[in-house]
Structure 1
Amino acid sequence: MTGGDMTGADDRAVERAARSTLHWTLRYTSGLDPVVAADRQEEILSDLHEQTAWATEAGIGERATARSIRARMLRGIPADLGWRRAQLSGREGIRLSLPRVDGLLLAAVAAIGVVQVAVGAFIAARQVRALLIGDISWVPIAAALTIALGAVALVATALLWHRRMRPWGAALLAVTGLLIFAQSVEALYYLSATALLVINGVPWLEPAAYAIGTGVAILCIAASAQWANPARRFPAAPGASALTGEESR
């Protein structure tokens, strides 16, 4: 398959994955020197062509190739951001090493897990208190769901300390993170008179909680892809290092 062949019905999955990668490239090169940005974008275009051509020669299906492209893009996000920072600071020779990226990701995802567990524990404590003092005599669905999500987050955080289970832990935290913050806001609507006043006075609070959850989920998914390392199942095409955030040599 050549670059011009990515228009058939069977190639749409690869085309969509390639467009996502190019869109991300345009985003993280925006605001840089036009020559540097153009060079980077051309490098990614060439890399995508080489990978799809190699995948066709190796007999890899379109969907598997598309998954590989997306996974490599997600794994490369931290290094891409490091490359952008190096360009902005003028320190072009500095790149984040893989161990350092993994360490930063682990610290960030672990912190996310701890926060989610704390949110679940807080809602559980408020629920027990409300029941004991007779504020309510039932458990709101949002409170039950928040407590359950916090329990799952506890298990997921524990999985982060086992290297082989780390991708699963990050994936679970992506799911719980997407929901737990908004659900905790809804739970507090029933469990706290002060929170009720705040929520009624700040109508954008719940959408903001969903936005935070979405950002958390994206970070955790990127970490999960980094640790799962699908490239071991789909070897990269020669010279295809740019998608992982590394510059070709």
Structure 2
Amino acid sequence: MTGQGDRDDRAVERAARATLRWSVRYTAGLDPLVAVRRQEEILSDLHEHAAWATEAGTSPRATARSLRARMLRGIPADLGWRRAQLSGREGVRWSLPRTDGLLLAAVAAIGIVQVAVGAFIAVRQVRALQIGDISFIPSSAALTIALGSVALVALALLGRGPTRPWGSATLALTGLLIFAQSVEALYYLSATALVVIIGVPWLEPAAYAIGTGVAILCLAATAQWTNSARRIPAASAASLHAGEEPR
């Protein structure tokens, strides 16, 4: 009887150890404090389960089977918990910077194009005045040059994290207008462009469509950077509450 009882007790012990080994595996690579806390929770749960089974008169073999079944049923939830831990921590460190880098490159390219459009219209305007093709500054040309100048300021705002949302929001506004206004300005400033504009009646609507797409992208970047600025302090505060030392 004693030998049988020892074997039954060892069955419970083996089931508990298997569960603990699994907890060590799926917490590998996580923050050590988080991993240890999770393992302690599993150990406490195993102890309570075994104590409840003993009080209820459940046989050790049935308890061991129950422990193993719980471990197997809980694997999907354990993996989901691990993904949540990774997305909540490494996601802040790596995914956001990668996304921000791509957005910054795209928005900066948009800003450079807008500045180039404004500069091009300014050069065409000066040239047209010099050779006498035109004796006035069309409102569309003046607006395009002004929008290009504003875009240059917005590019400077992109250089610093705190002002980056303001820069992208500004480029959304300038991008919405500058392309269509430049097409209208070229109507006055370039004979070649005049022929193209007359021959392609959808050119100006296409310029407005491009401007709308640019504005949407810049506004999406604004929202991303604004939310990132809120999430990162929140993640840092959560880390401190979890027991991490501030870096």
- Does structure 1 conserve the Cα–Cα contact (< 8 Å) formed by 2:96 and 2:228? no
Q: Which residue of 2 aligns with 1:105?
A: 103
SS in structure 2 at match of 1:196 = helix
Equivalent residue letter for 1:176: T
Distance 1:211 1:136 in 2: 29
Q: Which residue of 1 aligns with 2:174?
A: 176
Q: Which of 192, 196, 199 is residue 197 of structure 2 equivalent to?
A: 199
Larger Rg: 2
Q: What is the Cα deviation at residue 109 of structure 1?
A: 0.1
Task: Note if 1:226 corresponds to 2:227.
Answer: no
Q: Deviations over 1:194-213 (max 9, x none)?
A: 00000000000000000000
Distance 2:210 2:105 in 1: 18
Task: Note if 1:135 corresponds to 2:133.
Answer: yes
Distance 2:183 2:100 in 1: 32
Identity %, equivalent residues: 82
Distance 1:150 1:173 in 2: 10
Equivalent residue letter for 2:148: G
Unaligned residue ranges in structure 2 (runs of 5+): 1-90, 235-247
TM-score, normalised by the number of residues in structure 2? 0.55
Q: Which residue of 2 aligns with 1:163?
A: 161
Q: Deviations over 1:14-51 (max 9, x none)?
A: xxxxxxxxxxxxxxxxxxxxxxxxxxxxxxxxxxxxxx
Distance 2:105 2:228 in 1: 22
Distance 2:127 2:120 in 1: 11
Q: Which residue of 1 aligns with 2:119?
A: 121
Equivalent residue letter for 1:134: G
Q: Deviations over 1:36-88 (max 9, x none)?
A: xxxxxxxxxxxxxxxxxxxxxxxxxxxxxxxxxxxxxxxxxxxxxxxxxxxxx
Q: What is the Cα deviation at residue 97 of structure 1?
A: 1.3
Unaligned residue ranges in structure 1 (runs of 5+): 1-94, 237-249
Structure with more relative contact order (C-alpha pairs < 8 Å, separation 6 or more): 1
TM-score, normalised by the number of residues in structure 1? 0.54
Equivalent residue letter for 2:162: R
Q: Which residue of 1 aligns with 2:213?
A: 215
- Give the structure with the larger helix fraction: 2
SS in structure 1 at match of 2:137 = coil
Q: Which residue of 2 aligns with 1:22?
A: none
Distance 2:103 2:157 in 1: 14
Q: What is the Cα deviation at residue 100 of structure 1?
A: 0.7
